Amino acid sequence: MKLTNRQTQTKTLADLYRAIDRQHAVTITYVDEKGETTVRTVEPFDIRTTKNGRIELRAMCRLRGDSRAFAVHRVVSYTLHRIGFVLDRPEATSPAGHGIVVRSAAQLIARELGRDYLPTRRLARTDTSLAA
């Protein structure tokens, strides 16, 4: 078990990325917003930065059986396993509900760069609230 308060956040993120690459499960001890501590075994598939600058681990939770987001700064400790993934992750979809197909490395890079800049709601030409 690795305690996150005894190592840098870079080391924690490197371990989580390694688990994603190898598709290995991770058991995390997590403190939620209410201050309650839970132990969960998750299957991580993405690490994102939220709009407010927090780093978030996206993973399939084996307890709930669906996709969850965990703030990395709330992870108290974690254990990396050699156990492979067993849960089916939902397919990525576009805002219109269609499946996303990436056919080249350039499309993948453009998708990842554009993900952080997509508007949260559909914009129309008559929207003037965003005008400078």
Q: Which range is least confidently modeled, 3-7, 13-17, 40-44, 115-119?
A: 115-119
pLDDT tens column, 16-30: 999 988 989 999 999
Instruction: Please report which confidence band the pLDDT of residue 75 belongs to, taking 50, 70 and 90 as the band edges.
Output: very high
Number of domains composing the chain? 1
Using CB atoms within 10 A of its CB, is residue 50 exposed (0-12), middle (13-18) or buried (19+)?
exposed
Predicted local distance difference test score (pLDDT) of residue 107: 72
Residue 13 lies in a domain: yes
DSSP E strands in the chain: the ranges are 2-3, 24-31, 37-49, 55-61, 67-71, 75-84
Structural domain harbouring 22: 2-84
Residue of 50, 47, 55, 51 whose CA lies nearest to 74: 55
With respect to residue 59, please indicate whether it lies within any of the assigned structural domains. yes
> Is 43 in a helix, a strand, or coil?
strand
CATH code where residue 37 lies: 2.30.30
Question: Does residue 58 belong to any structural domain of this protein?
Answer: yes
Q: What is the pTM of this model?
A: 0.65
Q: What is the mean pLDDT of residues 2-28?
A: 88
